[in-house]
Amino acid sequence: MLRIENLRKSFGGVSAMNGVSLNFAEGSLTAIIGPNGAGKTTFFNLVTGAFKPDAGTILLGDEDIAGLSPPEVVRRGMARAFQIASIYPTLTVRESIFGAVNAHRGWHARLGRRFPLAEAKAQADEVMELVKLDSRADTVSGYLSHGDQKLLDIALALALEPRVLLLDEPTAGMGPEERWQMIETVHALWERKHMTLIFIEHDMDIVFRYAQTIRVLSYGTVLAEGTPDEVRQHPKVIEAYLGSHFEHTDSR
Amino acid sequence: MRRSTVLRDVAFAVGVLAILSVLPFVFPGRHFSDFVIRMSAFAVFATSLNLLIGYGGMVSFGHGLFYGLGAYSFALLMQKAGTSIPMAFLLTMLISAGVATLIGAICIRLKEIYFSFLTLAFQMLVHSLIIAWTPLTGGDQGLTGGVPRPPFLGIRLDDPHHLYLFCCFVLVASLFVMYHFVQSPFGYTLRMIRDNPRRVGFLGIQVWRIRLLAFVVAGIFGSVGGLLMSLFVSSAYPDFAYWTISGEGVFMVLMGGIGVFLGPLVGAVVLLLLSDIVTGLTEYFGLVLGVVILCFALGLRKGLLGTLWEAWRDRRRAGAGLAAGKH
């Protein structure tokens, strides 16, 4: 589904992405982990067109999308949510989701109709129900709790019915209980929508419990990849990131 | 859009027009009708500016360019080309659309203060052109000889009452069109861009296209404001394209309320009333205006209508909360 080959990016003289090659199978659930500054968010920014790569190919299906702008990448079936929730603070949840559905359907520039469009309702309702925001549909997004804003950010991406969904630290800034609720919501989405889901995460309990496969980045290179068991026992990962005392425990 | 919604809006617009048409009988004399005509010109202009500021998050300091362009295009078409008024009206809108497309294509790629000052730069360029191109524009004296107003469809715009009704019609029709513009899916996409343009890009939308279309629509209606003023004064002056017109437009938007569609209309009424009353009392209008603007900036940042609207909404929500608590 998504194949990255020899991806490179430098900022000034600093190499942020140093020949990364990764393959994400269709319908897989993958976690990307690594220490701060490893290049995880840069990787997302390159894949989604926020940054133009210096070299390398990004194959979405059979098409090389390297260097395309974010709208062009999204139009080809990739969507993302951000580390800091990126929402529309003055619009309600409902208006935001309808807006995203309009964007996906190509109805966002219609002038002769009144918002919201009746034909967008079924999908908008489904998305709000999927992320459990239906009870807060008429709340102004800027007044939502941090966790709900993160859910709304994910909902905006979901409204695009992506083939590949990238989530940048979906549990960032949340308390322990909220984190597990969030990741279970994300996991349920993945199961229901059968999409390729890639998420960046720092909570190793979450990563090792939910991810099918894990990619470990360090200093802009791939340090290791494999199943949770393989990564957990990888000497380089233990040395550079997890530490020799790491043990996976369910912290709920 | 549902047919019933359109019919309701049309009925409302017709109702407003009917009320406006009988008001001169309640307030006879030229003073009232002249005030409404000037208010129509400024209200259409300020509402079009609010499409950019309030709905698009694009603070234009140069929107007066289109006010001046509308006034000069219309007056020159009537004077030099001898076209009919409807044709000159249509051509003025087309010219403004063309100019707005050219200028907008450059300006909308910039953000915040850079966008603001580039629009101001284009306005001063047009103002300088008007001053310098004396054979066509009359230079700093403005157009001389008056704007011909030949009758069309039985409407005689040299008759003050006909002119009043015509301006009222253009005001209501322009607000009707702009209202549907901001209530359309496009209008909500514009609000999303105002809130978070980066996120809109990650929904697959080419942000610049939406911004450009909004800029063009705002430019067209900005020129309609200038057109009405040139009809009223039967001329066009360089001041119509000066930066102070843009400043007055921004004041109207701020005084009425950025977040409310009819805010700029209220702002236009307040600013014109203030101007008419204060200039009759003192020559220091600028000083009084400065104090008023200061008061709005410090105490009424949502504008008159914006503050009232929020108070009404909060009260309604509180009422709904109380009602829910009883169950």
Contact A71 B204 (CB under 8 A): yes
pLDDT at A250 over 60: no
Closest residue in B to A161 (Cα) is: B203
Report pLDDT for B303.
84
Report pLDDT for B321.
58
Go through the domains of chain B in sequence order and give each one's CATH number. 29-326 (1.10.3470)
Report pLDDT for B258.
87
Contact B185 A91 (CB under 8 A): no
**What sign results for the dihedral spanned by CA atoms B194, B199, B205, B209?**
positive
Interface predicted TM-score (ipTM) = 0.90
What pTM, to 2 d.p., does this model score?
A: 0.90
Closest residue in B to A96 (Cα) is: B192
Interface list for chain B against chain A, based on CB atoms closer than 8 Å: 1-2, 5, 180-181, 183-189, 191-192, 194-196, 198-207, 209-210, 213
Report pLDDT for A251.
45
Question: Any long-range contacts for A2-6 (C-beta under 8 Å, 24+ apart)?
Answer: A2/A47, A2/A58, A2/A59, A2/A60, A2/A78, A2/A164, A2/A196, A2/A198, A3/A57, A3/A58, A3/A59, A4/A47, A4/A56, A4/A57, A4/A58, A4/A59, A5/A56, A5/A57, A5/A59, A6/A55, A6/A56, A6/A57
pLDDT at A252 over 50: no
Contact B185 A109 (CB under 8 A): yes
A37 band by pLDDT with thresholds 50, 70 and 90: confident
Coil vs helix vs strand at B289: helix
The span from the CA of B36 to the CA of B43, in Å, is 10
Which of B179, B192, B202 is the mutation pick for testing A, counting most A CBs within 10 A? B202
pLDDT at A54 over 70: yes
Consecutive 10-residue averages of pLDDT for chain B (327 residues): 76 93 88 94 96 94 95 94 92 97 94 92 94 90 88 90 95 95 95 95 95 97 96 93 92 88 94 87 83 83 84 76 54
Name chain B contacts of A70, Cβ cutoff 8 Å: 201-202
Report pLDDT for B324.
53
A90 band by pLDDT with thresholds 50, 70 and 90: very high
Nearest to A104 among B187, B204, B213 (CB): B204
Nearest to B186 among A70, A80, A109 (CB): A109
Of the candidate ranges A52-56, A200-204, B221-225, B291-295, the one whose mean pLDDT is the lowest: B291-295
